[in-house]
Each structure stands twice: as C-alpha cells, then as structure tokens.
Amino acid sequence: MAAKKSASGANVSGDELLHYYREMLMIRRFEEKAGQLYGMGQIGGFCHLYIGQEAVVVGIEAAAKEGDSRLTSYRDHGHMLACGMDPKGVMAELTGREDGYSKGKGGSMHMFSAEKKFYGGHGIVAAQVPIGAGLAFANKYKGEDTVSFTYFGDGAANQGQVYESFNMAALWKLPVIFVVENNQYAMGTSQKRSASTPDFYTRGEAFGIPGAAVDGMNVLAVKAAAEEAVAHCRAGKGPYVMEVKTYRYRGHSMSDPAKYRSREEVQKVKENQDPIDMVKEMIAQGKHASADDLKAIDKEIKKIVQEAADFAIESPEPSVDELYTDIYA
Ligand SMILES: Cc1ncc(C[n+]2csc(CCOP(=O)(O)OP(=O)(O)O)c2C)c(N)n1
Ligand SMILES: [Mg+2]
C-alpha cells in the first residue's frame, strides 16, 4: 500500500481540532518542563523527550476505544499522557518520588497503569514488541474486540524479535497494530545509514501483514490511518503495520550532543511541519477559535504542568521498606 495523503481539517469540527490542539500541547509543555527539571537536577537517570512527535500518539489514541492496550519504548511520557494517565503521577515518577506511577522506583522509562492499559515504558530496544503481541493474544483469548497498540522506533524495527512477533501475530491473527514511529534516527544513526529500505510499512509483507505509511506530523492523517488499522484488527483480520513518519526535535536523550544532524535540518522541520502549528492553522482557517482563545488554552495547560512539577518536587522520596516490594527475588 502506498503512503497516505495528508488531511486538511476542512471537514473536521472545531471541537475535535481543539481537542487535538490541547492534547498535543499538553505533551509538549509537559516535556519542556521535564527538560527543565532535568537541567535543574530534579530528574536523574535517563530521560527521552517526545517533542515533535506529539501528533503520532494523539492521532492514534483518537482511534482507540476503552479496553485497548498500549505500550512503547523508553520515549514514553507522551503515550502516558495521551491515554489519560495523570501528569502528576508521571512527573513524580520522573523525579523518583513516592507518588509516582512506579512509587519512584522506575523513573522515566518504567511506568505502568493497569487502569489505562498502559504496559510500559521499556528500556530494552524492541522488548515491548513481543509483549504487545502477547497482549493482543490475551485480548483475543478473552473474546474482546480490543487491540494492542505496539509502538517502536525505526531503530527497533531492525531487531530480530520484531519479526518473530510478526510471524506469530500473523499466524494467530492477533489484533495488534505495530506502530513504527519513524523519527528518522536511532540515537545518532540515521535510518538512511541503518535500514536496507526506507519503507518500514512494508516490513510485514513477508508474513502477509498489510501496512501503510502516514504523515506523522499531521494528527488528522494519523487518526485516519489508525482508524483503518483498527477496523482491520477489530474485524478479526489479524495484525497491521503502521509506519508513522515523524521527527524528534530534541536529542535522543538529555545527554545527546546532537553531532549527527545539522541545526538547519531541525529548524526546517520545526518551521514547516510542526504538528501543533499545523492544527493551529486548521483552527484559524475554520475560524474555530481566536489567537487569544488558543493562548488561554496554553496558559491553562502550563498551569496543569506547573502543578504537576510542584507536586513531583514536593512528593517524598520512597521509604526504605519499598526497596523489597514489587521486585522479583
Ligand atoms: C537491545 C538494546 N540495544 C541497544 C540499546 C541502546 N539504545 C537505546 S535507544 C537506541 C536507539 C533506538 O532507536 P529507535 O528505535 O529509532 O527509537 P527512538 O529513540 O528514535 O524513539 C539504542 C540503540 C538498548 N537500549 N537496547
Ligand atoms: Mg528513531
């Protein structure tokens, strides 16, 4: 299947566009704050920001329903916010505090929410892919028509376990959507230098898994592509590969010197393809809100994020007795 064309927003209601604007801005402001807290020494260990990729998870969540599950790599804050996890709990986990989703023992890469069916947060590249297929197996076994959104990167797409998962998912017709978030880099390695073909959406073909590529900077295009993928899975036709072409603005993690790409390259994407600016433009074109209305939403979101940051700093460190709980021993 060929790449999909981008959507313009002309047939979409103002409420829907404003919802996407709000959701994407929430992720961006949260990530900016996380970056600041990291710089201030409030967050330790690893921290991988999602800035630039917001339309991917917001577009896909727009096609999800109650009971669907999701999991991803270490670049996971956006996925947690988009599925409705509490920004306070996520931020408190980043600062390693008791009120965090993993009681301060997991940090940025290791959070879970059984309630929201968010199954991590995985630091080992591609480790979440077989687990995502397993979650789809569980959904099917229980007779649900729910799907498993299994996100991984362009770098992870070259891992062997991805193809073992593809084989079993296709063999057993599991309702799993393999979402390749192609942000064009795996740490400092461009996909041009590491992938034998640039078309990740075709990677399931040998297993009979259909796929489609989509402009991951356009939230409406992502949602439309996700709806097709979801319909395929819910109809019992087995897995689907979605390649979402996106871009990360920040370094791989907070300790990335970014010598592998030029400032101009990043600047060009920010200026011409920013997912939040694109929705802002759609809102303006449809006259759904004024510039002042949008500023007010931004202010409201900044307040929520600031409250999450204050909460995360004020929350106590985990107590010593927590050392031996929730562990395999
Ligand atoms: C099995 C394994 N190998 C190597 C690493 C080190 N590593 C961490 S992230 C990463 C790059 C992955 O890139 P990609 O899948 O494109 O995801 P992105 O960071 O772009 O979201 C590598 C090699 C790891 N964590 N696990
Ligand atoms: Mg990548």
Kindly report, residue by residue over 100-150, the tens digit of the pLDDT: 999 999 999 999 999 999 999 999 999 999 999 999 999 999 999 999 999
50 lines ligand 1 (CB under 6 A): no
Of 225 and 257, the one with more pLDDT: 225
Paired tokens of 223: 């949602």
Side chain identity, residue 176:
V
187 lines ligand 1 (CB under 6 A): yes
Check whether 217 has a pLDDT greater than 70: yes
pLDDT > 90 fraction of the chain, expressed in percent and rounded: 93
* Residues 105 and 113 sit within 8 Å (Cβ to Cβ): no
Residue nearest to atom 8 of ligand 1 (CA): 125
Could you tell me the pLDDT band of residue 177, with boundaries at 50, 70 and 90?
Answer: very high
pLDDT, mean of residues 256-274? 95
25 lines ligand 1 (CB under 6 A): no
151 lines ligand 1 (CB under 6 A): no
Paired tokens of 228: 């097709």
Can you say whether residue 202 is alpha, beta or left, with left for phi > 0 and alpha for psi between -120 and 50 degrees? Answer: alpha
Of 218 and 1, the one with more pLDDT: 218
The pLDDT value given to residue 289: 97
pLDDT, mean of residues 157-171? 98
Can you say whether residue 154 is alpha, beta or left, with left for phi > 0 and alpha for psi between -120 and 50 degrees? Answer: alpha
The pLDDT value given to residue 258: 86
pLDDT, mean of residues 226-253? 98
CA 182 / ligand 2 centre spacing (Å) = 5
- Residue boundaries of the structural domains of the chain: 47-80+117-303
pLDDT, mean of residues 177-197? 97
- Residue 239 sits at the vertex; the CA angle it makes with 238 and 240, to the nearest 5 degrees, is 130
Check whether 223 has a pLDDT greater than 90: yes
Question: Which residues lie below 8 Å from residue 246, measured CB to CB, with a gap of 6+?
Answer: 52, 53, 55, 56, 181, 182, 183, 216, 217
CA 163 / ligand 2 centre spacing (Å) = 18
| Residue located via tokens 């362009």 | 154
Could you tell me the pLDDT band of residue 257, with boundaries at 50, 70 and 90?
Answer: confident
pLDDT, mean of residues 253-267? 93
Could you tell me the pLDDT band of residue 6, with boundaries at 50, 70 and 90?
Answer: low
pLDDT > 70 fraction of the chain, expressed in percent and rounded: 98
> Could you tell me the CATH superfamily of domain 47-80+117-303?
Thiamin diphosphate (ThDP)-binding fold, Pyr/PP domains (3.40.50.970)
> Tens digit of pLDDT for each residue in 277-314?
999 999 999 999 999 999 999 999 999 999 999 999 99
